[in-house]
């Protein structure tokens, strides 16, 4: 993504309410505090985050995330709007807060709780990784806050923003998302906060593309995003986390089954976002469905989100989908599935079909070497020749058919991203047995490897010393 506009479009600017408060280290009067509180909760104030921050697996409480939104407003006022970069002087990174500010973040009656949340934020680390100049991957963790102080005399707080986090908020021109923190500050659930951030990435003029589906005539509609269950679990920090160096468990697993995720994450966030949207204070809400084609008893692999905004509203009943409604479909309605070629038509449409026999043998051998060891390559080449000799009229079909089933398999994401062991077994036990049989009427049984000889002298019937 190059960037994402706010789902609310152009929003009203809060004005100088935050700017003067951040620059003047004074306690506002009661009526001023009430005005700031009202502005924060009613008017829309946008900030820009790098998509890296949106996708980062950072487990935050409700109040901790509100504090991060508040910090983002401070960064915007002091750096982004002034067109400044990351400062060289670390003293310029201090936020000066009072109990009034903490009251805005966590509620006037919850200042002590907000204070504790700010302290905990100083311990929270965001996982990062990048490729250095030598092409090496470097993994690390960075803070949002790297220092936190409380002045017992003035009753004020000094919070220093980590310089490592600022590049993800200051002058971000690519791969960013615009968040309405005026709305996000009012959410009552941390899962709503996170799913709002995530869906905001795709709430503009976004269209998810899948090359394999598109080739078959299926094009995703705008603002529809399929999410692998592993990505969803990582987004909400639901998996067990171990230190990569020591193996020590840093976080236990949460919601191991999808029904729990559905109840405590998806339905909870959907209900709150929908209520905000219908009240006129929200920018987006969503429907979702489990990936089609899953049989009863199988694990859910993917969740498809349908994102609705004021510019792209839901068609039909404006409420979360329920039984009896028209089925949700993620694809454009005006696209027709492409005519599916038969296996033999695919072979004739393949540019390799025009090659001579020797060239096809070379292509097949090269494909096999990608996934199999030397003995296995020789075995399957030999079986291809036997099948060729069995076919009296079109001897090259056997080789072309083997090439085609391998190429078809390589288009599948699970095969491309699988381990070397997975790809090898997939070819041996499925492609050359089931796929060849289903498409072309013949198959190749797995190679039988010789069993290791036992340590016995066969002539004398006793063990041989080695």
pLDDT of residue 365: 92
pLDDT of residue 397: 82
Q: Are 71 and 161 in contact (CB under 8 A)?
A: yes
- The per-residue pLDDT string of the chain (466 residues; one tens digit each, 9 = 90 and over) reads 445 555 554 333 333 333 333 333 334 444 434 434 444 444 678 899 999 889 888 788 899 999 999 999 889 888 888 888 888 877 888 999 999 888 888 888 889 999 998 888 888 888 877 777 888 888 788 889 988 899 999 999 999 999 889 888 887 888 899 999 888 988 999 999 999 999 999 998 888 988 777 766 788 999 999 999 999 998 998 988 777 678 888 778 899 889 999 999 999 999 999 999 999 888 999 999 997 544 455 678 899 999 999 999 998 889 999 988 988 889 887 665 556 778 888 888 888 888 888 888 899 999 999 999 989 999 999 988 888 777 655 666 888 999 999 999 998 888 988 899 999 999 999 999 999 999 988 999 998 866 555 554 444 444 434 3
pLDDT of residue 342: 85
pLDDT of residue 393: 52
pLDDT of residue 15: 33
pLDDT of residue 31: 41
**Fold (topology level) of 17-186:** Arc Repressor Mutant, subunit A (1.10.10)
pLDDT of residue 40: 47
- What's 211-309's CATH class? mainly alpha
pLDDT of residue 294: 45
Q: Which two tokens stand for residue 81?
A: 């709007």
Residues of the chain with CATH 1.10.10.10: 17-186, 211-309
Could you give the CA distance from residue 43 to residue 46 in angstroms, rounded to a whole number?
10
Could you give the CA distance from residue 344 to residue 122 in angstroms, rounded to a whole number?
63
The whole model's pTM is what?
0.65
Please, which residues have CB within 8 angstroms of residue 311's CB and are 6 or more apart in sequence?
7, 9
């Amino acid at each position: 993504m190059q960037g994402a506009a706010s789902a609310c479009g152009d929003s009203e600017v809060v004005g100088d309410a935050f700017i003067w408060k951040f620059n003047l280290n004074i306690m506002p009067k009661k009526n001023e505090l009430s005005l700031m509180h009202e502005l924060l909760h009613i008017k829309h104030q946008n900030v820009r985050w790098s998509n890296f921050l949106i996708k980062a697996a950072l487990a935050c409480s409700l109040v901790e995330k509100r504090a991060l939104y508040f910090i983002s407003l401070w960064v915007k006022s002091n750096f982004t709007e002034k067109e400044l970069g990351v400062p060289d002087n670390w003293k310029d990174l201090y936020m000066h807060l009072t109990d009034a500010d903490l009251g805005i973040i966590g509620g006037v009656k919850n200042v002590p709780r907000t204070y504790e949340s700010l302290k905990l934020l100083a311990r929270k680390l965001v996982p990062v990784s990048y490729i250095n100049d030598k092409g090496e991957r470097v993994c690390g963790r960075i803070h949002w806050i790297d220092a936190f102080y409380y002045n017992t005399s003035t009753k004020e707080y000094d919070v220093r923003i980590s310089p490592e986090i600022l590049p993800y908020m200051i002058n971000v021109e690519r791969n960013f998302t615009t968040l309405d923190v005026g709305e996000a500050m009012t959410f009552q659930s941390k899962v709503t906060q996170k799913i709002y951030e995530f869906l905001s990435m795709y709430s503009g003029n976004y269209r998810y593309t899948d090359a394999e589906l598109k080739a078959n005539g299926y094009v995703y509609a705008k603002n529809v995003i399929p999410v692998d269950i592993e990505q969803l679990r990582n987004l909400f920090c639901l998996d067990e986390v171990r230190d990569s160096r020591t193996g020590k468990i840093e976080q236990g697993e949460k919601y191991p089954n999808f029904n729990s995720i559905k109840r405590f994450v998806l339905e909870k966030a959907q209900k709150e976002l929908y209520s905000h949207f219908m009240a006129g204070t929200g920018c987006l809400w969503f429907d979702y469905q489990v990936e089609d084609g899953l049989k009863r008893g199988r694990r859910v692999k993917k969740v498809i989100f349908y994102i609705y905004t004021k510019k792209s509203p839901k068609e039909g009943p404006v409420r979360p989908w329920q039984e009896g409604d028209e089925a949700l479909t993620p694809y454009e309605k005006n696209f027709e599935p492409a005519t599916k070629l038969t296996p033999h038509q695919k072979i004739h449409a393949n540019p390799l079909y025009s090659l001579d026999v020797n060239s096809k043998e070379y292509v097949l051998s090269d494909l096999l070497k990608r996934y199999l060891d030397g003995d296995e390559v020789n075995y399957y080449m030999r079986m291809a020749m036997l099948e060729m000799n069995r076919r009296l009229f079109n001897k090259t079909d056997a080789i072309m058919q083997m090439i085609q089933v391998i190429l078809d398999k390589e288009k599948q994401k699970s095969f491309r991203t699988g381990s070397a062991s997975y790809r090898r077994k997939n070819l041996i036990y499925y492609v050359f047995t089931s796929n060849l049989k289903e498409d072309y009427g013949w198959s190749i049984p797995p190679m039988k490897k010789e069993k290791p000889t036992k340590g016995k002298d066969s002539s004398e019937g006793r063990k041989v010393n080695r």
